[in-house]
Amino acid sequence: MTVELHDITVRFGDVVALDGVSFVADQGKIHALVGENGAGKTTLMRVLYGAVVPDAGTIHVAGSRVSFRNSGEAIAAGIGMVSQHYSVIPELTCLENLILGAEPGWALHRGATIQRARELAAKMGYEFDWAASADRLGPAGSQKLEILKLLWRGSRTMILDEPTAMLSPADSEGLFQSLRSLADQGATVIVVTHRLPEVLQHCEQVTVLRGGKQVGAQPVKNLEAASLAELIVGQQVQARNHGSAIPGEPVLEVVGLRAKGYRGDWAVDGADLTLHEGEMVGLAGVDGNGQRELFHALVGTLPSEGTIRFRDEDWSGQGTARRIADGLRLVPEDRHEEGAVDSWSLVENSILGLQRCPGPARAAWLDRTQATAIAQRVTERFATRHGGLDYPISSLSGGNQQRFVAARALEMSPKLVLAFQPSRGLDIRGSEDVFAAIRSECRAGATALIASFDLDELLSQCDRVVVMSRGKIVAPPRGAEMDRSAIGKLMTEVE
């Protein structure tokens, strides 16, 4: 069945997330929805799934007008969605997860239900131990279970939000084969992605969102990667030259680092990395290849094996506090969870992580005057807009919070700046400012490692780029340190 969304507008407070967006996906086809982070892709799909009620606009499913007040109504209309963070509940069994919310009856007939589950899985060529607890499923297994959950519910329209984010290339390939067979059987498949090769290779239609607006909808056939990329970012991406660093002595030496991910697998699996004084290194890679765990191991919040040496200090046995004292600074991935206390004032947040550094701390005592001075500097560096230093950080907009957290990581003479997606939630100006500031710290003798899923951003901002792939760090060959296609090959494991 064909789904149509017309003139959808969604506001979150003062922010317009979607501005009169239209979107049409035909039955029997794989439709791609692409755009940068924050373009509104997920919000649009949540509207179709009934999880977000739009402020304006219409939805048609199979020709008839519908309006969903919640996901239950969308599910009843044959729409299913697999969100980026799987909805598999690890404490339940695979079977319970499969049928949750769509149980065949009041009482569960186990034998018959398992039989039906087996048949359904067999149709897709999958195999499951249905009685086993779902916590043992890896990312690929969870993804398969999610697809079966949609089928179990009789979904005819399937939305998959960044389905390959956590999958290996082989598993991604398998996923698209499954989606193809579903489309051939008459399903409407919508894939939200930011990976263009997937679009060009597997999808038939594509809709592009930019800044909450629809900027293009066309068949994929005859479309070229470059023009699609241009539609997404709005202008031709070109590398800029910021004057390369003269790398100094090696300062951070990581050898054979191993750290476990939250699923218990070795997410960082023998990573080697050497950073030199004064350089700004980009860490590229597809999401889920161990970047997060690498950062946490370097910060000291995730137990790891192997060696981490920083300027003659052996960090392996040292805790986070020691590493901060040695000059480690972090722009964390999730500022709410890791980088701020939402209810605290800007002054209190400005010394978070720096609370033991001489300056804000005098022996065991806190120096409030110093803290206020730091807050002043932090807010001024990237022109953070705020209502007063005593206001809670939650009163700032998302972008201004990010400016604040990034500026704080450059306080109190940083020696090693680790930044995970530092431009997250920032406009182009803002992200330019942040990268420029990190660069100037590096020119003054610091070292920076910046992780991003946006390769172009890294290529245009960093001195060199390395790639994280399956828990290891690989560097492009000599002479091709900034070669987009060489790095892209490493990311996608193309030989």
CB 344 → another protein: shortest distance, Å?
A: 7
State which residue, 189 or 324, has the beta carbon closest to another protein: 324
461: closest CA among 423, 489, 487, 488? Answer: 423
**How many residues are recorded in the chain?**
495
Q: What angle do CA 132, 135, 136 make, to 5 degrees?
A: 70
Largest pairwise CA distance in the chain: 71
The stretches of 162-260 forming alpha helices (DSSP H) are: 169-184, 196-202, 225-233
CA 433 – CA 213 distance, rounded (Å): 25
**CB of residue 222 vs another protein: minimum separation in angstroms?**
37
C-alpha distances in angstroms, 459 versus 158, 177, 338, 465?
35, 32, 27, 7
Q: Is the CB of residue 386 less than 8 Å from the CB of residue 395? A: yes
Name 305's bridge partners: 258
Number of residues that bind another protein (CB under 8 A): 56
Question: 3-class SS at 220?
Answer: coil
Pick 22 or 87: Cβ nearer another protein: 87
Q: Which of these segments, 32-40, 98-106, 165-173, 273-281, binds another protein (CB under 8 A)?
A: 98-106
Among 32, 34, 75, 416, binds another protein (CB under 8 A): 75
Cβ closer to another protein: 55 or 334?
334
Amino acid at 384: T
Q: Which of 142, 174, 240 has the alpha carbon at shortest distance from 482? A: 240
Q: Does 356 bind another protein (CB under 8 A)?
A: yes
Residue 394 near another protein by CB under 8 A: yes
State the Cα–Cα distance between residues 79 and 44, nearest whole angstrom.
14
**Is residue 451 part of the contact set for another protein (CB under 8 A)?**
no
Give the one residue of 55, 103, 129, 184 binding another protein; rule: CB under 8 A.
Answer: 103
CB under 8 A: which stretch of 69-77, 185-193, 208-216, 437-445 binds another protein? 69-77
Look-up: residue for tokens 């068949």? 219
Stretch that binds another protein, among 31-39, 66-74, 155-163, 180-188 (CB under 8 A): 66-74
Residue window 149-188: x/- pattern of binding to another protein, with contact defined by CB under 8 A = x---------------------------------------
Nearer to another protein by C-beta: 75 or 434? 75
Stretch that binds another protein, among 20-28, 94-102, 263-271, 378-386 (CB under 8 A): 94-102
Residue with smaller CB distance to another protein, 337 or 495: 337
The two structure tokens encoding residue 220: 């994929």
Q: Which residues contact 197 (CB under 8 A, 6 or more apart)?
A: 225, 492
Smallest distance, another protein to C-beta of residue 368, A: 8
Shortest distance, position 243 Cβ to another protein, whole Å:
33
Helix (H, G, I), strand (E, B) or coil at 211: coil
Residue 344 and residue 341: Cα distance in Å, rounded?
5
CB-based burial label for 352 (10 Å; 0-12, 13-18, 19+): middle
Applying CB under 8 A, does 355 fall inside the site for another protein? yes
Residues 277-306 that bind another protein (CB under 8 A): 299-301
Site string for another protein, 312-351 (x = CB under 8 A): -------xxxxxx-----x-x----xxxxxxxx---x--x
Amino acid letter, 163: P
- CB nearer to another protein: pick between 83 and 205: 83
Nearer to another protein, 311 or 356 (CB): 356
467/419 Cα distance (integer angstroms): 15
CA 307 to each of CA 128, 313, 328: distance values in angstroms, whole numbers, following the listed order? 39, 11, 16
Task: Tell me how far, at minimum, the Cβ of 173 lies from another protein, in Å.
Answer: 27
Indicate the SS3 state at residue 392.
strand
Nearer to another protein, 261 or 300 (CB): 300
Quick note: the x/- pattern for another protein over 107-146, rule CB under 8 A, is xx-x------------------------------------
Nearer of residues 278 and 414 to another protein, judged by Cβ:
414
Sign of CA dihedral 366, 371, 374, 375: positive
Interaction of residue 397 with another protein, rule CB under 8 A = no
Among 66, 366, 412, 475, binds another protein (CB under 8 A): 366
Task: Give the interface with another protein as residue ranges (CB under 8 A).
Answer: 51, 70-72, 75, 83, 87-92, 96, 99-103, 105-108, 110, 149, 299-301, 319-324, 330, 332, 337-344, 348, 351-353, 355-356, 361, 364-366, 368, 392, 394
